[in-house]
Amino acid sequence: MIDHGGISDQGPVRKRNEDYIGYGPAPDIEPGHHKGRLFIVCDGVGGSGAGDVASKAAVETVLKEYYALKKKPDKALLEAIAAANLHVFDISMKADRMRMETTIAALAIVGHKAFIANIGDTRAYRIRKKTQIELLSTDHSEVAEMVKMRILSPDNARHHPRRHIITRSMGSFPMISAAMRTETVEAEDTYVLCTDGLWEPVGDDEIAQVATSMPPEEACRTLIDLAISRGTNDNVSVQVITVNEIDKETALHLPVDVSWWSKVSGVFGGVGVKK
C-alpha cells in the first residue's frame, strides 16, 4: 500500500545530529493500526541546549500518544503533539536546560485522508502526478513572515541571513499550537518530510524529481547527498512516502470522538529562537 524510506544524517559540519525521525505503528502498538501510518521528522534547536534530546523525546511521545488516544486522527495528532511539547518542556525544566527545543513535521495517512501538522520550519511536501509539488506545512520563521508581507520573495527567503530564526518551536512554552491541514490522498501521491538542512540547498522541483524517480530509501540517500554536495551546514533528515494504493479498510475504521457529555449522557454527539 505504502512504500517508505527515511534517513537522518549528521551532515558535514555539525558535531552531532540533533535531528530525529520516526514512523509507526510499531509492533507493540499494532492495535492502533486503524489510525493509519504516521511519519515524523524533528529538528532539534541547537546552541547551548540539548536539541538532540528534544527531537528524540518529541518523536517518541507523538508516536506513543497518537496511537493511544481514542480520537479521530486529526485531533489525535494535535493532542499528541501538545503532549510531546509539554513533555519536552518538562524535561527541559527538570534538567535546567532553557533551550531544549525542536521543530516538527508530522504526516498521518489514514485511508484516503492525509493529516499534516507542523511547528517551526521542518517541512512537509506532496508531489502529485510526479511533477506537481506543493508545500503542505507552514513555516514558523521570520523570513516566512516577511514572505507573507511581500517583503521577500520565496526564492530570496531560502538564502536570507535570518532564515534560521524560527518563531515557534516545541518545548519553548508549556502550551503551543501546531499548524494543521487535511488533504485527500490519491494513489501515486508522494510525500516528503524534511529538515531545512535539505530544503534550503535543494529546490522544490529537484526534491520532486528525485523523490518520484527512484525507490523511497534510495531517494532519501540521493537527496541527502545532493544537499551535502551543495554545502549544507546543518543536519539533513528526510522521509519519502509513496502511496501505491489507498487503504480502504483503514478508511472504514476511522475512530469516532466521544465528548465528555456523551460519556455522561450515553449519547454520541457530537520571540524568535535561532536554531
Average pLDDT over residues 19-35: 78
Average pLDDT over residues 223-229: 98
CA dihedral 170, 61, 70, 137 (to 10 degrees): 40
What integer pLDDT is reported at residue 149 of this predicted model?
A: 72
Contact 121, 102 (CB under 8 A): no
Look at residue 269 and tell me whether its pLDDT is greater than 60: no
CATH number at residue 121: 3.60.40.10
- Looking at every residue in the chain, the average pLDDT score rounds to 86
Look at residue 162 and tell me whether its pLDDT is greater than 90: no
Q: What percent of the chain has pLDDT above 90?
A: 68
Look at residue 259 and tell me whether its pLDDT is greater than 60: no
Average pLDDT over residues 194-202: 95
* Separation between Cα atoms, residue 116 and residue 133, nearest integer Å: 15
What integer pLDDT is reported at residue 155 of this predicted model?
A: 67
Q: Which of 170, 169, 122, 137 shows the shortest CA–CA distance to 21?
A: 122
Q: In the 8-state DSSP scheme, what is residue 39? A: E
Q: In the 8-state DSSP scheme, what is residue 170? A: B
Look at residue 248 and tell me whether its pLDDT is greater than 70: yes
* Residue 154: domain span: 2-274
Look at residue 251 and tell me whether its pLDDT is greater than 70: no
Local confidence band at 116 (pLDDT 50, 70, 90 cut-offs): very high
Average pLDDT over residues 77-84: 98
The count of domains in the chain is 1
Average pLDDT over residues 82-93: 94
- Comparing 144-148, 205-209, 213-217, 221-225, the range with the smallest average pLDDT is 144-148
Q: What is the spatial order of strands in the sheet that 132-135 belongs to?
A: 2-9, 236-243, 190-194, 123-128, 132-135
* Separation between Cα atoms, residue 109 and residue 37, nearest integer Å: 5
* Separation between Cα atoms, residue 187 and residue 64, nearest integer Å: 28
What integer pLDDT is reported at residue 262 of this predicted model?
A: 35
